[in-house]
Amino acid sequence: MNVDLHCHSYFSDGKQTPEFLIQRAVDNNISHLAITDHDCTDALDLAAEIATDVVIVNGVEVSCLWDETEVHVLGLLVDRDNQQLSTLLRAQQLSRLQRMQAMDKKLEALGTQGLLAYIERLGCVACSRSHAADFLVDNKLCKSRQKAFKSHLGKRGKLYVRANWVDLAGAIEAINAAGGVAVLAHPSRYPLNTAKLTRLVAAFKRHGGEGLEGTYANIDPAAQKQIKELAQANDLYLSAGSDFHDSAAQWTDIGKFPPLDRQAHSRAIWLHPRWQALYPSA
């Protein structure tokens, strides 16, 4: 199985079109591709119209709060027409816009206008701090996107505004209501020590989560091992995805991440009964 179950299009903070992502998946011999935009599923409508050998798996990445920490939950195999999920995603998109409006006001107070107008011109469905980082770099207020997150957009940044996200239980519930499989995205990227990450995974499972992302771009071997062990301890599936956002970032690509090892393969997400029901050959 050569899957990539995590990537972004311009409908959220990716830089490319769904067509580009799919063509890239074809070029890289990917059999199953999930486009998992932040808090929106609009790319899936476009993707469904493109004739290709790559199987397009429905997906979404929901931002949520657990114990004051922002965590991301992937919903794979979701029905994008499901009411409960659509209602949640609309609320999340509105929260994103309101946060951007508040950040725009803060930036105006610091003497720079135009952030909100810039975001509106982009035409994304789910706006993000990633777009604000581009604006700050384009306007020479920051030297790089990394620096923009450090000085302006991160928790201690000048423009920081807390987002009004759904809680972990609500995100998982909506994904499950839409027939999806909830997967905790990039578990090693949260600012959590081992004890707290262990608690997060237990809470995730208790609320109905079914998988952990077991590999992604730039994951180190120790983190990969830790996640595999957490999946074993909590009887969770393991997923795999690049979290691709931008072809200009040359260290990332569709399908580019360390493989799951043999043990991890025994609980791979494509062994899930709902995956098997949809894609029996896999």
Q: Cβ 162 to Mn ion, closest distance in Å?
A: 17
Runs of H (alpha helix) within 124-282:
129-138, 145-148, 168-177, 194-206, 221-234, 262-265, 273-278
Contact partner at residue 145 from ligand AMP, Mn ion, none, CB < 5 to 8 Å by partner kind: ligand AMP
Cross-strand pairs, 73: 62, 184
Q: Cβ 13 to ligand AMP, closest distance in Å?
A: 5
| DSSP result, 60-88 | EEEEEEETTEEEEEEEES--TT-HHHHHH
Going by C-alpha positions, the residue among 37, 12, 36, 34 that lies closest to residue 25 is: 34
Q: Cβ 146 to ligand AMP, closest distance in Å?
A: 5
Pick the piece of the chain touching ligand AMP (CB under 6 A) from 122-130, 175-183, 213-221, 259-267. 122-130
| DSSP result, 22-66 | HHHHHHTT-SEEEE--BT--HHHHHHHTS--SSEEEEEEEEEEEE
Pick the piece of the chain touching Mn ion (CB under 5 A) from 67-75, 88-96, 147-155, 253-261. 67-75
Distance of CA 230 to the CA centre of its chain: 20
Please tell me the count of residues contacting ligand AMP according to CB under 6 A: 10
112 or 247: CB nearest Mn ion:
247
Round to whole Å and give the CA distance between 12 and 126.
Answer: 5
Among 6, 24, 38, 272, binds ligand AMP (CB under 6 A): 38
Among 78, 243, 260, 264, binds Mn ion (CB under 5 A): 243
Residues 228-247 contacting ligand AMP, CB under 6 A: 245
| Chain contacts with Mn ion (rule: CB under 5 A) | 13, 61, 72, 185, 243
Residues of this chain that bind ligand AMP (CB under 6 A): 13, 38, 63, 128-130, 145-146, 149, 245
